[in-house]
Amino acid sequence: EEIEKGGYDHFMLKEIYEQPRAIHDTYRGRLLADEGYIRMSGIDHNIERFLNANRIIIVACGTSWHAGLVAEYIFEDLARIPVEVEYASEFRYRNPVITEKDILIAVSQSGETADTLAAIKMAKEKGAFVFGVCNVVGSSIARETHAGAYTHAGPEIGVASTKAFTTQITVLTMIALKLAKEKGEFSQSKYHEFLTELEGIPQKVEKALKSNDLVEKIAEVYKDSTNCLYLGRGYNFPVALEGALKLKEISYIHAEGYPAAEMKHGPIALIDEEMPVVVIATRKGHYEKVVSNIQEIKSRSGKIIAIVTEGDETVKDIADHVVEVPESSEALTPLLTTIPLQLLSYHIALMRGCNVDQPRNLAKSVTVE
């Protein structure tokens, strides 16, 4: 096992650090920015279906559901295709309206999650085209779907999902970009710009990982907290949910993710000097609005840990701590803002003496209802 951990103390940390490589492996051979194309056989062979689809329904559980939520923003924003994102466990039992013009995308690291598998079977019976985004090759979901695209994250051992999440977002982003181009939503130059930026993401993730020492110091300050709030807007709202989930899963601190603007409809009542609030406040994407949310937290004495774009000065003056991530277009920020949040939960869990790789009561893959 020590050898498998490759010199890291835990699988989770190893997997966090593997993300630049994993993201690269996921687009390698599929995306060529210089030649201006994305090639994914599962999409290419079914392109007409995708272009004629009424809507895309994404079903998943846990972290994979959060990747689906990020994809909703990307698909609707860039490709202008209506998307619904559903918990597989709810979807399968609520007698959903599904037609032959719907495409169901099932997102699953393990490819074995019972609820997701059942949702696929139901959608197939109702005539939908079902596409899988799985990590484990040859898994049940990969076999049960009509077509699919693997994430090439490599084995994920830590129960808390990290590199599976960022590689799922990578695959879903490639699909959205490809459809946006095919639908004529993008000029060749805009397309080229996006592809080039996506190719550059592994280096930016590498840079984001450099925040590790700083994040460890922040973890030291908040390791004894009993609650934590995570806020983000737009593309970074699902990242806030995922940040909160990571903290809950491995440190057993109660954490909630919220869209920043919803704070005033409830969570703001919880804010006092004991409450750490993690806010994603990258420069692209409702920046001014998030800054005013940060001010609201400040005026109630909440402790603010802000994830900001490199060089940000405004938030630095207000927040208690800032962690920088490299600049990127808004659609790609989740791949970067997620990194410090993974590290924060890792360090806090470790300092609390928790079993990071195998948290209590959780399973890597939930194969029963």
Residue 326 within binding range of ligand G6P, rule CB under 6 A: no
Q: Judged by CB under 6 A, does residue 109 bind ligand G6P?
A: yes
Q: Which window, 60-68, 75-83, 236-244, 279-287, contacts ligand G6P (CB under 6 A)?
A: 60-68
Considering only 10, 20, 53, 62, the residue that binds ligand G6P (CB under 6 A) is 62
Strand partners of residue 259? 232
Please identify which residue in 26, 145, 151, 161 interacts with ligand G6P, judged by CB under 6 A.
Answer: 161
Q: Does 116 bind ligand G6P (CB under 6 A)?
A: yes
Residues 167-206, interacting with ligand G6P (CB under 6 A) = none
Compute, in degrees rounded to 10, the torsion defined by CA atoms 319, 298, 339, 78.
-110
Q: Does 113 bind ligand G6P (CB under 6 A)?
A: yes
Among 19, 26, 89, 110, which residue interacts with ligand G6P (rule: CB under 6 A)? 110
User: Closest CB to ligand G6P among 314 and 365?
Assistant: 365
Give the list of residues 6+ apart from residue 181 with CB closer than 8 angstroms, or none.
38, 191
155 CB-near residues (< 8 Å, 6+ apart)? none
The verdict on 345 binding ligand G6P (CB under 6 A) reads no
Question: Residue 108 interacts with ligand G6P (CB under 6 A)?
Answer: yes
Q: In this structure, what token pair is assigned to residue 185?
A: 């939503």
- Residue 338 as a binder of ligand G6P (CB under 6 A): the answer is no
Size of interface with ligand G6P, in residues (CB under 6 A): 16
d(CA 306, CA 80): 31
CB 59 within 8 A of CB 120: yes
121 burial level (CB within 10 Å; 0-12, 13-18, 19+): exposed
What beta strand segments (E) does 39-98 contain? 55-60, 83-87
Q: How many CB atoms lie within 10 A of CB 214?
A: 15
To the query of whether residue 210 is one of the catalytic residues in this protein, the response is no
Least Cβ distance, residue 364 to ligand G6P (angstroms): 6
Q: Would you please indicate which residues are annotated as catalytic (active-site) residues?
A: 364
Q: Which residues bind ligand G6P (CB under 6 A)?
A: 61-64, 108-110, 113, 116, 159, 161, 362-366
